[in-house]
Structures are given as structure tokens and as C-alpha cells.
Homo-oligomer: A and B are copies of this chain.
Amino acid sequence: MRRKWVLPAVAAVTLTAGVTGGMYLGSSEDGPLKKWIGKMETDGEVDKQEKAAVNDKELGKVEQAYDLILSSYVEEVESDQLVEGAIQGMLTTLDDPYSVYMDKETAKQFEETLDSSFEGIGTEIGIDEGKIIIISPYKNSPAEKAGLKPKDQILKVNGESVEGKNLYETRLKIRGKKGTSVTLEIKRDGVANPIIVKMVRAEIPLESVFSAVKEEKGKKMGYIELTTFSVNTAADFKNHLQKLEEQNIQGLIIDVRGNPGGLLSSVEEIVGNLVTNKKPYLQIEERNGDTRAYFTNLKEKKEYPIAVLMDKGSASASEILASALQEAGGYPLIGDRSFGKGTVQQPVPMGDGSNIKLTLFKWLSPDGNWIHKKGIEPTIEVHQPDYFNLQPLAIDKTLKRDDNSEQIKHAQEMLSGLGFESSRDDGYFDQRTEVAVKAFQQQNGIEVTGKLDQKTAGAIETALIEKIKDEQNDIQLKIALKYLAK
């Protein structure tokens, strides 16, 4: 799985979608949905005058509150602040984390980050039940190397709480010049105390397609990983697939694990290479309940079998791909249940540099299922081993026999993942935990003390990261290869 770290200028658009953990219709959109958007604009024109009269009455109360706050609040307030608060407040009532307002400044800084690459820690973030969470770190990014995991909740950035912050504000705090460092405070399910993770920012490349040929039972299997769905992804996918087919692959794995989504047009084009026109690959539901089915132009299916790898970080466009391949293509989904985002957004400019990215419709699977907040169940459910949920070990003082702490609990779980069973994993440093530590130290050329010091903790962490990176331990991939070769 060697990758080229190329920085294409256009692929940067991916981020726009990626950062919200979602998919949207970009301005270059020319898929089947364009017509709908045109319709919307026309509608808006028709009853504009009628609406204005109604608004005057309904918004009168907003104006009354606006006047009161401006004139009487204990401190001077900027009118801009109230206007943006009002818009933010209206969007909040929708209870939809994907409908967001970007003020001028945020939108401007955001545009700048779209240039050709960006500098940061390389992770998608999203909102789940009001919390800002990691969707998935990019491959080989500082975020991945530091052990950040999908569903980790971000509590603080550089000591500052993200409570009440939206995704854009949070993302802008995380990003920064290459070589500078940023500290996140993370809350992870099942871990009582927040985890502090310090990372050095790097240039994050935006290549979204990676491929390889893998051997299984003497058969050549094509493997294509999609990390996001950007403007270039579909064309890149086609090129990679063509090269694989030239090598006479006898099966294909499409890996969308940790892929947070992206452009609808991009996933539509990819699905167009794989799923025939016998069934719709997607349905779109408008707010009046009307649904419309969309079909590819493909007549013949591929001669080789296909499988999709997905996990809880596979969201939005990844889920469109997965459900199309499963329900329309009859191909299996292997891995964990997916994220569950079944809506489509479009950014609407407000005319002053700010914009509102609004959820316009739902997408349904070929069979008409809405997977929002549910995710897609895999055809073959395969979980990675427990030790894939690595927690960084923060050892500030040496831990030893009879000590009792959360850190020891993590160390016990990690030692267990490395094959050094310590009989208990509840944080109490018993005699068998000591034996496990000694055995690990022995095997790794560290002075055998039986104590958990910083050096030993660091070595445990490194050993586990190596083990996770080793493709031999990627059980989901292994099952997929076995499935295709049978």
C-alpha cells in the first residue's frame, strides 16, 4: 500500500465536503439534481412579494428583540454579531448538524484552505448528537499517527473548549502552519479521563484514490481505496481500475473505510462504472415526499466479483456507493456498520461573502431505504481486533505493583493486544500484570524492571501501532480477499 503524495490543485474541493463529514452539491455540479435546484430558484421568485408581507409581521418580534438587546444589554453589542446569531439560531432549530452558517471571515479563511493542499493534522471532523467528533483521520497523517480514532469527541483545541463552536470554527483552530503544533483534548467512549494528544501540523496531501494488486489463493485481486469523493476522484478511479484490469484481476475490493463522503457527482460517476441500469443506484426524496430514481448507463456488469470494505467512518457518499453496490449490484459489504448520513447539502451564498450550507433533500438506497442515523448493515460483519482501538498511554509517573489507575487499564489492554496477557484489565497492577510487563521488556530489549515507566509505555505504543499497520492484521481485508477468491 505505497502511496504517492501528490498535491493536485483541484482535489482540494473535497475538503469542503469532508470537513462536515458529508456530501454536498458543488457549484460544478452537473448530475441529475441540477434541475431540482433550478426549480427551487424559480419557486422563490414566484411568491416573493407575498412572502415579504408575511415576513414583516413574523420577523417583527425578531426586530423587537434585536432593538432591546442593542439598546439595553449591559455591554455594547455589535449588530453584525446579533444578525449572525439570529441566523445561527434559526439553523440550530433544524436540529441538523449538516445545515451550517459560515460567516464572512470563516468562509474567507475556508476558501484559502482550499488552494491546493492544506496544513493541519489531517482528519475529518463531524457532529454527532451535538458533539464534535473525529470522523476519520487521513492515512499517514499526524492525526492517524497520534492514534486519533473515528467517534473520538474533541473537547478542547489548545486548551480552549470547542463547546458551542461549529465545525468550521473548530477546524480553523485545528489547522495552522506546517511545523507548528496543536494539542487536542479528546473524550473516547469507555475511557473515563480525557486524552491529551499533541501533534505537529504537516502538509496534508489530497490524493483520494490508491490501488494495489493483492494475491489470494493464486488469484490476482484488485484493491482500490477511496479516501474521499473529490472532483478528481471519479476520473482517478477510472484510471486506477483500467490499470488493474490490464493486469487481469479476478476480483475487486473497493475500500471506503474511514471515507467521510464528498461530492455527489463523484460517487455517481464511480457507481456508473460498476452498477448496471437494471435497478436505480439511488433515489432522491424531496421535502414534499416525491422521490425520483436515478439509473446508470451501464449495460453489462463486471466479469469479476466485487466487495466493498466499510466501517463506522464510512459516511454519506461512501454509503451511496455501498448501498448501490449492495442493493443494485448484489455485491457484499464487508466490515462494520457505516456512519449513517442520508442527506444532501448545498452551500447558498448570502451575497456578502457568507453562506448557508443547507440540507435540501434525503437520498434513499436503490430499494428506498433511508439510512440516516442508522448506517448500513454489512453483508458480512467483521470487526477489527480490539487493539485497533489504541489509546495513547500518558504516563507521567512510573507505575508499579499495587498501583491502580486508568493508565494501567490501558496498558493492560495494550499488552493483551500484543499477546502479553495480564489476567486483568481493570487498572489494578497485580502480580500477573508485572509478569506481562517483564515479558514485554525482555522481548523488546528494555531493562526488565516490571515497572511501567515512560520508556516501556512508549515501546508498547510503538509495538501496537506497528501491529495495526501490518496488513496481516487487517482482518476485514483478509475476509474480503477470501470471499472473492472462493
Query: Which residues of B sit under 8 angstroms from A66, Cβ to Cβ?
Result: 55, 59, 90
Judge whether B74 and A90 touch: CB under 8 Å.
no
Does A85 have its Cβ within 8 Å of any Cβ on chain B?
yes
Complex alpha-carbon distance, A361 and B72, angstroms: 9
Interface string of A55-68 (1 = CB under 8 A from B): 10011011111111
Where chain A touches its partner, the secondary structure class is mixed
Complex alpha-carbon distance, A351 and B161, angstroms: 37
Judge whether B360 and A74 touch: CB under 8 Å.
yes
Q: Which of B71, B83, B93, B99 is close to A62, meaning CB atoms less than 8 Å apart?
A: B83
Question: Which residue on B lies nearest to A428, using beta carbons?
Answer: B404
Query: Which residues of B sit under 8 angstroms from A72, Cβ to Cβ?
Result: 40, 44, 348, 358, 360
Judge whether B82 and A93 touch: CB under 8 Å.
yes
Judge whether A73 and B358 touch: CB under 8 Å.
yes
Does A197 have its Cβ within 8 Å of any Cβ on chain B?
no
Return A102 CB to nearest CB of chain B, in Å.
12
Query: Which residues of B sit under 8 angstroms from A73, Cβ to Cβ?
Result: 94, 96, 99, 287, 358-360
Does A160 have its Cβ within 8 Å of any Cβ on chain B?
no
Query: Which residues of B sit under 8 angstroms from A147, Cβ to Cβ?
Result: none
Complex alpha-carbon distance, A74 and B51, angstroms: 19
Number of copies: 2
Interface string of A319-359 (1 = CB under 8 A from B): 00000000000000000000000010000101110101011
Query: Which residues of B sit under 8 angstroms from A40, Cβ to Cβ?
Result: 71-72
Complex alpha-carbon distance, A73 and B343, angstroms: 11
Query: Which residues of B sit under 8 angstroms from A76, Cβ to Cβ?
Result: 287
Does A250 have its Cβ within 8 Å of any Cβ on chain B?
no
Complex alpha-carbon distance, A164 and B127, angstroms: 14
Interface-centre pick from A44, A84, A86, A87 (highest chain B CB count, 10 A): A86
Judge whether B43 and A59 touch: CB under 8 Å.
no
Judge whether B65 and A90 touch: CB under 8 Å.
yes
Interface-centre pick from A44, A51, A75, A192 (highest chain B CB count, 10 A): A75
Also in contact, A74 and B362, with CB within 8 A (given A89-B86, A89-B92): yes
Judge whether A90 and B82 touch: CB under 8 Å.
yes
Complex alpha-carbon distance, A44 and B426, angstroms: 64
Query: Which residues of B sit under 8 angstroms from A71, Cβ to Cβ?
Result: 40, 43-44
Does A107 have its Cβ within 8 Å of any Cβ on chain B?
no
Q: Which of B88, B354, B358 is close to A92, meaning CB atoms less than 8 Å apart?
A: B88
Query: Which residues of B sit under 8 angstroms from A85, Cβ to Cβ?
Result: 89-93
Interface string of A371-414 (1 = CB under 8 A from B): 00000000000000000000000000000001011000000000
Question: Which residue on B lies nearest to A57, using beta carbons?
Answer: B79
Complex alpha-carbon distance, A77 and B91, angstroms: 11
Query: Which residues of B sit under 8 angstroms from A426, Cβ to Cβ?
Result: 404-405
Judge whether A67 and B51 touch: CB under 8 Å.
yes
Interface string of A161-179 (1 = CB under 8 A from B): 1011000000000000000
Query: Which residues of B sit under 8 angstroms from A193, Cβ to Cβ?
Result: 192
Does A32 have its Cβ within 8 Å of any Cβ on chain B?
no
Judge whether A58 and B79 touch: CB under 8 Å.
yes
Judge whether A59 and B61 touch: CB under 8 Å.
no
Return A353 CB to nearest CB of chain B, in Å.
11
Question: Which residue on B lies nearest to A354, using beta carbons?
Answer: B61
Does A81 have its Cβ within 8 Å of any Cβ on chain B?
yes
Query: Which residues of B sit under 8 angstroms from A458, Cβ to Cβ?
Result: none
Does A130 have its Cβ within 8 Å of any Cβ on chain B?
yes
A residues with CB within 8 A of B: 40, 43-44, 51, 54-55, 58-59, 61-69, 71-77, 79-94, 96, 99, 101, 129-130, 161, 163-164, 192-193, 287, 343, 348, 350-352, 354, 356, 358-362, 402, 404-405, 424, 426-428
Q: List 17 A-B contacts (CB under 8 A).
A: A44-B72, A59-B62, A61-B83, A62-B62, A64-B351, A69-B356, A72-B348, A75-B94, A77-B94, A85-B90, A87-B89, A88-B89, A129-B163, A130-B163, A404-B424, A404-B426, A404-B427
User: 17 new A-B pairs (CB below 8 Å) besides A58-B80, A77-B94, A85-B92?
Assistant: A43-B71, A54-B79, A58-B83, A59-B62, A61-B350, A62-B62, A62-B90, A64-B351, A72-B358, A73-B96, A73-B358, A85-B89, A88-B89, A92-B164, A192-B193, A402-B428, A405-B426
